[in-house]
Amino acid sequence: MEGLAAGADAVLVGGCKLGECKYLTGNFQALFMSEAVKAGLKLLGLSPQRLRVEWLSAAEPNKLVETLRAYYEELSRLGPLGQEKNWSEQDKTRYLQAGVELWKQQSVRIAYGRLLKELHAQKRFLFQEMQALIQNKLVPKLKANLEKLLA
């Protein structure tokens, strides 16, 4: 969110391939966070395609180049940030700052942390389960807090 608020039209995050990271679950946690942030983008009325996560290996430079090229083309079709909502610069600043502040709120961070602990306790990181937890337990908290920030 801070990258978008600072003027980027999109953010690309790269990480080790799932299951191959020396930090064991770090990339799964990054996946969970990215899905949570995408849910926040949707609440703001922005395309979740504004955030992309790619799992790459240092031994795959061609994949990195292709990933960057494909993402650039995808973003060219999306257009500048805020175009989805036809925001003025003032609206864009207001909504993106609310998005940044949302993730700084203690209640959101606690809710997110509890869900991450729940995933760790299950000892499995299934994508559908991550999305279900986010939609059922985190999105209502995000929505309520975002409404307060924008009021």
CA 68 to chain centroid: 18
Longest dimension (CA), the chain: 49
Q: What is the dihedral of CA 87, 89, 91, 94, to 10 degrees?
A: 140
55-88 confidence digits (pLDDT tens):
888 788 898 999 999 999 999 999 999 888 899 9
98-150 confidence digits (pLDDT tens):
999 999 999 999 999 999 888 888 776 678 888 998 999 999 999 999 999 99
pLDDT band at 10 (very low <50, low <70, confident <90, very high): very high
Q: What is the distance between the alpha carbons of residues 125 and 102, in angstroms, rounded to a whole number?
A: 25
What burial class does residue 148 get, using C-beta atoms within 10 Å of its C-beta: 0-12 exposed, 13-18 middle, 19+ buried? exposed
Provide the pLDDT for residue 28. Answer: 82
For the cut 90, the answer to whether the pLDDT of residue 6 exceeds it is: yes
Provide the pLDDT for residue 56. Answer: 85
CB-CB contact of 120 with 25 (8 Å): yes
124-134 confidence digits (pLDDT tens):
667 888 899 89
